[in-house]
């Protein structure tokens, strides 16, 4: 394998990994900051006289849609942002169901609800809060409205 081919292969692998992560965590501010720094470093490296001109500068991509459904937590974040108030697990599940296909059999739907609830509880961005006599999900770093 030549150096040019190896560099091209590495760039292709880097872009494939970045595209996969864009699809999964593309809305996270930390990932967006990392991608901006990555593009800046790559542009800086390519501007150096010794840099290989065969390595293309990747175009910024906000989101790659490879046919994969939008992740549950991305949709949960969008639901809370749009509602601008805490949402119950059922409300989050309903919102997600309107924006991506969910399993039809009742048993599968219950598993999806459990998966979403578990994911919300493990995600550092969200927390369960008292809301209208019950519990609802809200942002961990914001006061409850």
CATH number of 72-139: 1.10.10.10
Q: State the pTM of this model.
A: 0.54
Bridge partners, 136 (sequence order): 129
Q: Decide if pLDDT at 22 tops 90.
A: no
Domain ranges of the chain: 1-68, 72-139
Q: Decide if pLDDT at 35 tops 60.
A: yes
Q: Decide if pLDDT at 87 tops 80.
A: yes
Select from 82, 74, 93, 78 the least CA-distant residue to 136: 93
Compute the distance between CA of residue 54 and CA of residue 95 in angstroms, rounded to an integer: 45
Q: Decide if pLDDT at 97 tops 80.
A: yes
């Amino acid at each position: 394998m030549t150096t040019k081919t190896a560099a091209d292969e590495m760039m292709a692998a880097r872009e494939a990994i970045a595209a996969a992560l864009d699809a999964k965590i593309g809305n996270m501010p930390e990932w967006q900051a990392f991608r901006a720094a990555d593009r800046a470093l790559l542009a800086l490296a390519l501007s150096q006289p010794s840099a290989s001109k065969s390595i293309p500068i990747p175009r910024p991509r906000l989101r790659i849609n490879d046919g994969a459904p939008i992740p549950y937590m991305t949709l949960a974040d969008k639901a809370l942002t749009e509602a601008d108030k805490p949402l119950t697990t059922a409300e989050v599940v309903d919102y997600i169901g309107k924006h991506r296909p969910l399993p039809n059999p009742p048993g599968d739907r219950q598993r999806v609800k459990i998966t979403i609830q578990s994911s919300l509880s493990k995600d550092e961005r969200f927390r369960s809060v008292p809301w209208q006599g019950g519990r609802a999900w809200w942002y961990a770093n914001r006061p409850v409205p």
